[in-house]
Every structure is written in C-alpha cells, then in structure tokens.
Amino acid sequence: MIFNRIDVENWSRKPYFEHYINNLRCTYSMTANIEITRLLAELKNKGINACETKRTSKYLPHF
C-alpha cells in the first residue's frame, strides 16, 4: 500500500483533523454470540434473577 504524506500545517482540513484527533475518543467495538446457558443455570441455582433492571442489578454489566 502506498501512503501519501500530508503536510498537516498547510492542509485545508487541518481544523477537522485536529477536532477528531484531540476532542473525540475513537472506539472500536466487536459483537460476538456467546453461549450463556450454563451462566443462567448457575444464576438460577444461586437465586439471582438474570432479568433484573439496570437500577437493581448488581451482578450483570450494563452499558
């Protein structure tokens, strides 16, 4: 792959570049199917409700 060097100081898009590089967090995400049958069974055995709401759950992560 061939890259072209950009003179950022004289680049017309410099303000946009600086905004994205300095002010916005870049993130990456990944989605995967996972098997949780055993997890749900274990939660049930321990009496933990896997369907609790975000406000009340202290066991499962919420995003």
- Name the pTM for this structure: 0.37
The 3-state secondary structure of the chain reads CCCCCCCHHHCCCHHHHHHHHHHCCCCCCCCCCCCCHHHHHHHHHCCCCCCCCCCCCCCCCCC
Instruction: Judge whether 40 and 59 are in contact, CB under 8 Å.
Output: no
Please report the pLDDT score of residue 56 as a whole number: 58
Query: How does residue 44 score in pLDDT terms, banded at 50, 70 and 90?
Result: confident
Domain boundaries, the chain: 34-63
Please answer whether residues 8 and 14 qualify as being in contact, where contact means their C-beta atoms are separated by less than 8 angstroms.
yes
How far is the first Cα of the chain from the last one, in angstroms, to the nearest whole number? 38
pLDDT at 63 over 50: no
